[in-house]
A and B are shown apart, each in its own frame.
Chain A
Amino acid sequence: MKVFFVFLCFFSSVGLQAQHKKVEKEYPVAEERVPENAIVCLNYFSGVQSGKWLIEENETGQHFEFKGRINSHFTSVEFTGEGDFLDVEVEVRLSEIPDSIGIAIKKLLDERYDKIRIRKIQIQYSGKCSEVALKIRRKGLPVDSDTKFEVVARVKKKGVPTAEYEFLFSAEGALERCAVIVPRNTDILDY
């Protein structure tokens, strides 16, 4: 999930405390510049329909990332600057995640906010590249203890301005992290 500025807010009951600011930048890179081990890892993934290699720079350094369509899902495969596999994020619909987790996520957000609109859900897999590749090859994306769910939702709460948040849920549907997404300036589209 790419955000321009993110204020991390590890939730208290109020839960809107800004802790730090993250700035990311990504740009395309030729496959020749991508480390060999990252290319080898991507070859484990079958069903790569389209996509491109990117370099992502943030305060922690430089990462390589493959973003594209794999098995009909928009997928992002992330690697370290040395080409070591980090994780995979697969964009899915709410109906594609197990019912029990979907219900737990919805229930938690409903309890916390007056109105929610889920805009994006990503399943995150980490571990060994070949094993993760095997997981997302299966029909019906599996969930194990390492799986995480990243949810972007627009939420409304009485007394607080409507905002967009990025939530990270565990495989059991427990909220692990939350960050408010500050949208970029819209002046060039408004005036």
Chain B
Amino acid sequence: MRRELCWILVFCSIGFAGKSQVTLESGVLPVLNVNYKVNTNWRLNLKSENRFAIWQVKPTAFSPAYELSDLSVVVSRKVGVTSSAVGGYLLRYRSGELYHRFIVQFSIVRKYRGIRLGHRVSMDHTLASVERSVFRLRYRLTGEIALEGYELDQKEWYLKPGIEFLQSLQAGGYDLEGRLTTNLGYYFSDSNKLEFGVDYRLGDWLTTGGQSQNLWIKLEWYYQFGKRK
């Protein structure tokens, strides 16, 4: 059942993107996600993300270009067995401009047989000299499905489907964005995981009827060091 559900999600995410009638930009999104466990309750997360556009549909163009870089530092405080409160800062470099984003988030992980579900509610405020401030509220639901057995163990594959809804407010204008992701991951150990997948984004739902679409091929490496337990 779990495997069938995984395939449905993979096909949905691809099919959804393929149906687009509007501008679709695609490319690669390498991400490095490093965690430092300070002690039982505190963690530090450093994330680096770069975006390279490769292909554009309507108008069709093969136009490889560097798009942006993100670097974020967040501090996480464990508030329950599997829940945490996070606060941090993200610096974005895009077209020669710097963007500053302040983030707060709350996440909780629920465990079921063969699957873990992660709920994340996040708020951020982005400031830049070239555009008005943006406030966003987002909710993400992510699953971690063990592909071998009922538990995810070391040196095993897992599937990580996810869905996210974003609301944004900029200069009095309100908009929505939806994201659908499907990643295939390899669990080397509890502190070392590698994921590969697709990240489909449908933006500007209200202002343009969802004409801004992106399909990113994502490669993400999670690494944790510091105090083990």
Contact = CB atoms under 8 A, between A and B. Distances in A.
A189 B81 contact: no
B interface SS class: strand
B116 A189 contact: yes
Contact of B35 (A2, A4, A154, A187): A187
Interface string B176-212: 0000000001000011010100000000000000000
B222 to A, nearest CB: 5
What interface size band does chain B fall in? Answer: 35 or more
B45 to A, nearest CB: 6
A163 B40 CA distance: 12
B229 A162 contact: no
A119 to B, nearest CB: 9
B158 to A, nearest CB: 9
A191 B47 contact: yes
Contact of A185 (B40, B153, B156, B190): B190
B30 interface: no
B213 interface: no
B175 interface: no
Interface stretch (B54-62, B91-99, B131-139, B144-152): B144-152
Interface stretch (A23-31, A33-41, A106-114, A171-179): A23-31
A183 interface: yes
21 contacts: A23-B154, A25-B156, A26-B149, A27-B153, A27-B156, A28-B148, A161-B78, A162-B80, A183-B109, A184-B116, A185-B224, A186-B107, A186-B118, A187-B222, A187-B224, A188-B142, A188-B195, A189-B142, A190-B45, A190-B84, A190-B86
